[in-house]
């Protein structure tokens, strides 16, 4: 089971808003809370949260979802050029299916291409390190944002789960438990900037409770 205190500390570090001093003339830009490309910001915080709906026919796992799935990210990114940024984040995923609630937490790599002063294209990939099922599930994201506050995203996911399989077909006199992979794609809307920060704080608490209740490893 996840040590809630340790995870809460990680989330607190990721979502904590830094005090950014006013940039003095001739000095390098610092870490920004309101994300901007260079030269305005050398780095910026990432606080995104959203609701997603699993697309039909996106894989055998899709039919198990009975409600919108929730996703969130807390992290930091560095502008490595006028239009490009790279960084890392802690992602959280929570959804409910016919078997109950499931939750995943883990690190993710992120890339951003700035389309304008506030618009962007984001790509990311994370791997579940704390989970309510089996570890190693992969969570991707491709998001287009016209501004800092709202974005539309696709989240392809490759989930590793455990189930009972017939060990001696076609008789099936006994079964064995084994892991298997399945895929799905979800489409949704995310909030960022200040609305995203508020949403991720609430969401983070929900995920921690969800993982603890479901007996996460």
Q: Where are the domains of the chain?
A: 4-17+29-213
3 state SS of 59? coil
What pTM was computed for the model?
A: 0.75
Tell me the Ramachandran region of residue 122: left when phi exceeds 0, alpha when psi lies from -120 to 50, beta otherwise.
beta
CB 41 within 8 A of CB 20: no
Short-list 91, 172, 167, CA closest to 124: 91
Contacts of residue 160, defined as CB under 8 A and 6 or more positions apart, other chains included, come to 133, 134, 135, 136, 137, 179, 180, 181
**pLDDT confidence band for 65 (50 / 70 / 90):** low
At residue 15, the pLDDT reads: 41
Number of helices (H), then strands (E), belonging to the chain: the values are: 2, 10
**pLDDT mean over 19-31:** 55
Sign of the CA dihedral running 124, 4, 211, 159: positive
Q: Which residue has the higher pLDDT, 101 or 39?
A: 39
Cα 173 to Cα 106: distance, rounded to the nearest angstrom: 39
* pLDDT tens digits along 87-111: 999 998 888 765 667 788 899 999 9
Short-list 70, 73, 72, 77, CA closest to 53: 70
**pLDDT confidence band for 163 (50 / 70 / 90):** low
**pLDDT mean over 128-137:** 78
69 pLDDT higher than 50 = yes
Q: Which residue has the higher pLDDT, 21 or 82?
A: 82
At residue 6, the pLDDT reads: 42
**pLDDT confidence band for 206 (50 / 70 / 90):** confident
Cα 162 to Cα 185: distance, rounded to the nearest angstrom: 20
Tell me the Ramachandran region of residue 100: left when phi exceeds 0, alpha when psi lies from -120 to 50, beta otherwise.
left
Terminal alpha carbon distance of the chain? 4
Cα 72 to Cα 204: distance, rounded to the nearest angstrom: 8
Within the chain, residue ranges assigned H as helices are 4-15, 193-213
Q: Give me 128's structure tokens.
A: 């579940």
Cα 27 to Cα 41: distance, rounded to the nearest angstrom: 12
């Amino acid at each position: 089971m996840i040590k809630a205190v340790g995870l809460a500390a990680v989330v607190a570090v990721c979502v904590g808003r830094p005090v950014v001093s006013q940039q003095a003339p001739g000095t390098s830009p610092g870490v920004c809370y309101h994300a901007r490309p260079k030269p305005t910001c050398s780095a910026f915080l990432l606080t995104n949260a959203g609701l997603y709906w699993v697309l039909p026919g996106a894989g055998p796992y899709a039919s198990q979802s009975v409600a919108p799935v929730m996703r969130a990210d807390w992290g930091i990114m560095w502008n490595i050029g006028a239009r490009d940024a790279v960084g890392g984040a802690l992602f959280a995923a929570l959804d409910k299916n016919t078997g109950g609630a499931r939750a995943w937490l883990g690190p993710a790599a992120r890339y951003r291409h700035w389309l304008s002063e506030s618009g962007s294209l984001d790509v990311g990939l994370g791997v579940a390190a704390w989970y309510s099922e089996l570890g190693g599930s992969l969570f991707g994201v491709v998001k287009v944002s016209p501004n800092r506050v709202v974005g539309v995203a696709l989240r392809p996911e490759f989930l590793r789960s455990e189930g009972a399989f017939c060990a001696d077909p076609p008789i099936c006199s006994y079964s064995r438990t084994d892991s298997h992979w399945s895929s799905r794609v979800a489409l949704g809307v995310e909030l960022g900037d200040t609305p995203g920060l508020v949403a991720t704080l609430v969401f983070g608490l929900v995920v921690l409770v969800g993982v603890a209740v479901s007996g996460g490893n």
